[in-house]
């Protein structure tokens, strides 16, 4: 992983298809009754990646992430073709992290063997719960036994693997979450992503919540479960390096670190986002979300980008602040000042220090404390204020 001053350069490829739509999910995922034409989509990815490479000559790719959707529904040959295209377009660093997201229902030993042969060296499994009743209520199509079998397959084929769990679920008690988390840690090698359940706009869970049919834990219970998570993971040697991600030192997800350190990354595929530093400044890109419409745009124009925004100085600085303070390592104050053209207000920093919410481990570094992470949004909002 690059140092704090070198975020690295990443390529994100979005596979937008899922076997079913989970009721809590607001990601750009689509269910199709007929299997998508993978060869046609490979050609689409190849064209869009080529357009991106023409704008970023000479860059060295330190991370590739195949996300979704459910990328493990791709054939290994599809994954291999995408990775081969990236390797022809850019220089790939010798220690490049190449991650693929997978659902337990689409994990088969032969398929994972194929992904490994194609070049994938890290997988992230959407386990989400180790409780069959809650898996069903979350709309997941796998059982606990199937999830753990998938983890075992990942363990046998990849040196690096991670899986996700969602906590603060309806009716979840601290005792139940503790037992589930300890079981998860026993299955994890180096990394866990642990997210509190949130109600996202446009999801089935939002409709149920508004109708009074989904009772979420109150904020006090959410805080109890968060604190318990930190305590158990710290004791197990999996501290939080980001507010929802835990890893053994050195095992952090390098691709996500590019995001949180405000590095550059290409976004290819339906609904993908990118950040690129070009000759005239930094831009934010976003592509058409609807898969078939995206594919048509790429075939006609070479890219599915439908919005491209030149980020002004304060937008770059605010994004750096919002993303960087999610990390346990915090931010470089000099880089913030270079991006924004002004220093953070020292009085606000000193006030938050006095409240125990931030600390300055060195003269030029600012980070949020363990006490500050549960109120991170408020801390960031306070620091971002301009008089």
Task: Give the CATH number, domain containing residue 49.
Answer: 3.20.20.70
- Answer yes or no: is 39 within a domain: yes
Report the chain's terminal Cα–Cα distance, integer Å: 37
Which residue(s) pair with 77 in the sheet? none
Q: Indicate if 79 and 176 belong to the same structural domain.
A: yes
- Answer yes or no: is 140 within a domain: yes
DSSP string, 136-165: HHTT-S--HHHHHHHHHHHHHH-SEEEEEE
Do the Cβ atoms of 169 and 132 come closer than 8 Å? no
The alpha-helical segments, DSSP class H, found in 91-248 are: 109-118, 132-137, 144-157, 174-187, 204-210, 219-235
Q: Cα separation of 294 and 289, whole Å?
A: 7
Residues 99-158 have pLDDT tens digits of: 999 999 877 878 899 999 999 999 999 999 999 999 999 988 899 999 999 999 999 999
- Answer yes or no: is 2 within a domain: no
**At which of 259, 277, 304 does a domain end?**
259
- Answer yes or no: is 117 within a domain: yes
Q: Indicate if 246 and 350 belong to the same structural domain.
A: no
Q: Indicate if 38 and 142 belong to the same structural domain.
A: yes
Do the Cβ atoms of 343 and 333 come closer than 8 Å? yes
Q: Is 141 exposed, middle or buried (0-12, 13-18, 19+ CB in 10 A)?
A: middle
Q: Indicate if 254 and 342 belong to the same structural domain.
A: no
Do the Cβ atoms of 339 and 316 come closer than 8 Å? yes
- Answer yes or no: is 121 within a domain: yes
Residues 155-195 have pLDDT tens digits of: 999 999 999 999 999 999 999 999 999 999 999 989 999 99
Residues 73-110 have pLDDT tens digits of: 999 999 999 999 999 999 999 999 999 999 998 778 78
Q: Indicate if 82 and 211 belong to the same structural domain.
A: yes
Give percent of the chain above pLDDT 90: 83
Instruction: Let me know how long the chain is.
Output: 387
For residue 106, what are the domain limits?
9-259
Q: Cα separation of 35 and 65, whole Å?
A: 22
Tokens, residue 185: 């840690």
Q: Indicate if 215 and 81 belong to the same structural domain.
A: yes
Q: How many domains does the chain have?
A: 2
Does the N-terminal peptide bond of residue 283 adopt cis geometry, omega within 30 degrees of 0? no
For residue 33, name the pLDDT band (cuts at 50, 70, 90).
confident
Q: Indicate if 41 and 180 belong to the same structural domain.
A: yes
**At which of 211, 229, 259 does a domain end?**
259
Q: Indicate if 48 and 171 belong to the same structural domain.
A: yes
Distances in Å between the alpha carbon of 232 and those of 28, 148, 164, 170, 185? Answer: 33, 20, 16, 21, 9
Do the Cβ atoms of 174 and 222 come closer than 8 Å? no
- The pTM score is 0.94
DSSP β-ladder status, 245-247 and 191-196: antiparallel
Average pLDDT of the segment spanning 223-252? 97
Q: Indicate if 49 and 150 belong to the same structural domain.
A: yes
At 292 the pLDDT is 97
Query: Could you tell me the sign of the dihedral formed by the alpha carbons of 97, 102, 104, 107, in that order?
Result: negative
Residues 296-327 have pLDDT tens digits of: 999 999 999 999 999 999 999 999 999 999 99
pLDDT higher than 60, residue 4: no
Half-sphere exposure of 58 (CA within 13 A, CB side): 2
- Answer yes or no: is 58 within a domain: yes
Residues 255-294 have pLDDT tens digits of: 999 999 999 999 999 999 999 999 889 999 999 999 999 9
Q: Indicate if 252 and 364 belong to the same structural domain.
A: no
- Answer yes or no: is 268 within a domain: no
Report phi then psi at 18, rounded to 5: -135, 160
**At which of 213, 229, 259 does a domain end?**
259
Q: Cα separation of 210 and 106, whole Å?
A: 32
Q: Indicate if 246 and 339 belong to the same structural domain.
A: no
- The DSSP element (H or E) to which 287 belongs, if any, is strand 281-287
Q: Indicate if 218 and 335 belong to the same structural domain.
A: no
- Answer yes or no: is 300 within a domain: no
């Amino acid at each position: 992983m690059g140092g704090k001053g070198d975020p690295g350069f990443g390529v994100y490829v979005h596979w937008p298809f899922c076997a079913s739509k989970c009721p809590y999910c607001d990601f750009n995922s689509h269910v199709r009754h007929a299997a998508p034409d993978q060869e046609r989509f490979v050609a689409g990815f190849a064209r869009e990646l080529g357009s991106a490479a023409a704008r970023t000559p000479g860059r060295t790719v330190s991370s590739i992430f195949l996300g979704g959707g459910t990328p493990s529904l791709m054939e290994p040959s599809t994954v291999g073709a995408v990775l081969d295209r990236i390797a022809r377009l850019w220089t790939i660093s010798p220690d490049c992290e190449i991650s693929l997201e997978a659902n337990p229902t689409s994990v088969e030993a032969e398929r994972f063997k194929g992904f490994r042969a194609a070049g994938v060296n890290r997988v992230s499994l959407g386990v989400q719960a180790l409780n069959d009743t809650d898996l069903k209520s979350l709309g997941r199509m796998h059982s606990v036994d199937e999830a753990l079998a998938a983890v075992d397959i990942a363990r046998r084929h990849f040196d690096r693997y991670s899986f996700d769990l969602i906590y603060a679920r309806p009716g979840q008690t601290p005792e139940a979450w503790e037992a589930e988390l300890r079981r998860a840690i026993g299955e994890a090698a180096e990394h866990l992503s642990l997210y509190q359940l949130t109600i996202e706009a446009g999801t089935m869970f939002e409709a149920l919540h508004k109708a009074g049919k989904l009772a979420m834990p109150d904020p006090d219970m959410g805080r109890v479960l968060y604190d318990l998570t930190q305590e158990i993971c710290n004791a197990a040697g999996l501290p939080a390096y980001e507010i929802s991600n835990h890893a053994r030192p050195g095992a952090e997800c390098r691709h996500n670190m590019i995001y949180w350190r405000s590095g550059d990354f290409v976004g290819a595929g339906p609904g993908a986002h990118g950040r690129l530093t070009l000759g005239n400044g930094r831009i934010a890109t976003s592509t058409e979300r609807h898969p078939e419409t995206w594919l048509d745009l790429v075939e006609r124009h070479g890219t599915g980008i439908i919005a491209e925004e030149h980020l002004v100085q304060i937008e770059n600085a605010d994004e750096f602040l919002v993303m960087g303070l999610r990390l346990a390592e915090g931010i470089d104050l000099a880089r913030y000042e270079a991006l924004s053209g002004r220093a953070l207000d020292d009085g606000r920093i000193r006030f938050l220090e006095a409240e125990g919410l931030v600390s300055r481990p060195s003269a030029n570094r600012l980070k949020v404390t363990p006490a500050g992470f549960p109120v991170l949004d408020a801390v960031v909002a306070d620091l971002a204020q301009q008089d």
